[in-house]
Structure 1
């Protein structure tokens, strides 16, 4: 396809975020500046005050975490990303709630002999996982005495963070699987990326945001969205055959409201699937079950009402049986969009601008603008969720400041009309990750969260029938 055959591109506006449930004027395109200026969306609502933090550290190293918690209450100026990152004024100044250490019984250290056992073992990840499991079980007995648990992992244990060749093990996901089952929010603090990282403002923004969200707070929501719309992210994961557990898990991210908020999700085991190129696809019956349960979440949050419009995102194609299952589950909805989001595409785009004097257009100094939408056909489009953004600094802000931004490819398997609404929703949902201090993610939160959930859920011993809160998996 040549450039002359491409449709004219559309430039979607940068989505704004809301920082107050009633005041429509409390909006900003910048999540962190919005927090500094207006405070969090859930300010004054049911968020613990103070947020009580428990700690778990290697033997003799708890002081590292105590000092780190004190830093959260201090002010820091940024030394990197200065065109984006505001100064960190302190946790209470940003979120309007206090943060403090929990009672003495909630501060534990791993066994002193762990260090020797870890160094002597040919499988250090097994030794480390076992020690962490024992400690977490003890802390679970004191669950009512704290709100969030901080775990310190030093860099010298890095060999134990993953398994060996052919072993499906990840310490982060192992810990999350245990604590999520117990309803225990956890923040893992690494030495290199947390305690020793040079830019303290950057670290405090990342950890402060995560702490507030994991304690039940809502930092922001989307300001301008289509009402009575539900967004669903669907992700699949396969368990190893040798695990002895059901081979397949489908993890459906929580149903997101029109404002991008959602605090629960469902996880559902199934055996009715087909694997093609290592990608599983559901039968019509199983897709109907998954989507029906997802709709139950929405109705429970909206006094029994069904959404007028539903948008479902996943990274693989929707097979005909999956389309039929979705349509059957959403038969009461007026509009249904089933959109495949492909992250790895070969397309690139370069922004050109007219020269100041007569001549050929020249490559601009900045990349393609974020929000650029280019139709490839009636069912395909390219969307730049990564690109230059105006209004962040004196010049266009390019997150990461390197490379040529790739678009994502949108493939519609059901739905009709222009791409504008579906693409803008994806652009807006890329700003709804409360576990990240960046302006946006490359993917919408429906898929970012779904990937995390599917990775952790497959490590859980058993899946309950009730919905899970995502804050336990962040």
Structure 2
């Protein structure tokens, strides 16, 4: 395809975030600056004060983890990402609630013999997972005395973080599956990524945001969205054949409402599907079931009403039977958009300035602006969710990561019509709704980013209940 055959591109404005349920003035495009200026969206709502933290640590190292928790109440200046990351003034200053250690009986140290058993065992991941699971079970008896559990993992235990060759095991996902089944939000504290990481401001922002959200807080929501639109992300996880469990699990990520808020999701085992290129595709009946349950979840949160418009995102194409199942489930909605979002594309884009007067055109100093949309076919477009952003840094345009040529997402509409503005803007806005990350945005919309997390963890839960799950237990 030549340049002359491409449609004119669009440049969408950077989506704003809201930090108050009523005051329209409390808005900012920068999530962290917005928190410092206005406080969190759920300030004054039902968030525990103080947030009580329980701990699990190696033998003799509980004090090191407690010292790390005390750092959250300290002041730090950033030493990296200075054009984006603000100073960390302390947890209470940011979130307007206190953070403290739970009562003395909520702090557990693993036995001293664990170290030797890990080194001697041919399956150290089994030994470590069993030790942490038993400790977590003991703390569960004191569940009413704490709000979030911190688990400290030193780097010397890294041999137990993953399984052996051809073993589908990840300690992080195993811990999340066990704790989520018991309704306990967990923050895993890695030595290399938290305790020993050089930029303390960066660590405090990441852990502080995660702690507040896992305790039930809402840092921010989207501003300027259609109040009658719902967003659904659907993903599939695959269990190992050796597990003896149903091969595929359908994970429907949070059903997000218009402001990006979605704190629950549904997941259940699929029975009617076909596999193509290692990807499952649902029958009409199965897709109808999962989308109907998604709508039930939306109605339960919105006083029984249905959305006027529904946008469904997934990373594989929508087969005709899946389209039919969605349309049947959403038959009362005025508009339905079924959008495939493809990450791995060969396209690139370079921003060129000029020509100006007698000067020839030349490549700009910054990459393509984030929010650039380029139609490449009647039902396909490229959306740059990664790129330069203005009004973030005093230095001019801000480019997250500061390296490489940003790659766009390719979006393919399998149902729906009209211009790309609304579809692309929704994807752009939803890249800013990950409360487990201190970055300006993620490459993927949260509908799919969360679905990826859920699909990894949910397949490790042996019994999937019919009730909705709260995502804060899986973060």
TM-score range, shorter chain: over 0.9
Aligned-partner Cα distance in 1 for 2:236–2:159: 28
Aligned-partner Cα distance in 2 for 1:356–1:247: 60
Aligned-partner Cα distance in 1 for 2:457–2:287: 21
The within-5 A match list for 1:7-86 is 7-86=7-86
1:101, distance to aligned residue in structure 2 (A): 0.4
| Structure 2 residue aligned with 1:94 | 94
The within-5 A match list for 1:251-290 is 251-290=251-290
Aligned-partner Cα distance in 2 for 1:50–1:366: 44
Aligned-partner Cα distance in 1 for 2:76–2:27: 24
1:357, distance to aligned residue in structure 2 (A): 4.4
Give the SS at the match of 1:435: coil
Moved over 3 A (4+): none
Aligned-partner Cα distance in 2 for 1:29–1:233: 24
Instruction: Check if 1:422 corresponds to 2:423.
Output: yes
Give the SS at the match of 1:150: strand
1:122, distance to aligned residue in structure 2 (A): 1.1
1:398, distance to aligned residue in structure 2 (A): 0.1
| Structure 2 residue aligned with 1:229 | 229
Aligned-partner Cα distance in 2 for 1:279–1:83: 41
Aligned-partner Cα distance in 2 for 1:116–1:465: 42
Aligned-partner Cα distance in 2 for 1:199–1:236: 36
Number of positions where the alignment pairs a residue of Structure 1 with one of Structure 2: 474
| Structure 2 residue aligned with 1:467 | 468
Q: TM-score normalised to the size of structure 2?
A: 0.99
| Structure 1 residue aligned with 2:448 | 447
| Structure 2 residue aligned with 1:125 | 125
1:178, distance to aligned residue in structure 2 (A): 0.3
| Structure 2 residue aligned with 1:135 | 135
| Structure 2 residue aligned with 1:199 | 199
| Structure 2 residue aligned with 1:458 | 459
1:347, distance to aligned residue in structure 2 (A): 0.1
Give the SS at the match of 2:254: coil
Give the SS at the match of 1:464: coil
Per-residue CA shift, 1:92-140, capped at 9, x if unaligned? 0000000000001100011211111000011111111111111111111
Give the SS at the match of 2:391: coil
1:355, distance to aligned residue in structure 2 (A): 4.4
1:33, distance to aligned residue in structure 2 (A): 0.1
Aligned-partner Cα distance in 2 for 1:275–1:143: 42
Give the SS at the match of 1:344: coil
Aligned-partner Cα distance in 1 for 2:105–2:322: 50
**Coordinate RMSD, CA, aligned:** 0.7
1:360, distance to aligned residue in structure 2 (A): 2.8
1:356, distance to aligned residue in structure 2 (A): 4.5
List alignment gaps of at least 5 residues for structure 2.
Answer: none
Give the SS at the match of 1:69: helix
| Structure 2 residue aligned with 1:238 | 238
Aligned-partner Cα distance in 1 for 2:281–2:368: 35
| Structure 1 residue aligned with 2:154 | 154
Aligned-partner Cα distance in 2 for 1:154–1:101: 20
Aligned-partner Cα distance in 1 for 2:359–2:108: 70
Give the SS at the match of 2:245: coil
Give the SS at the match of 2:152: strand
| Structure 2 residue aligned with 1:436 | 437
Per-residue CA shift, 1:204-232, capped at 9, x if unaligned? 00000000000000000001111210000
Give the SS at the match of 1:391: strand
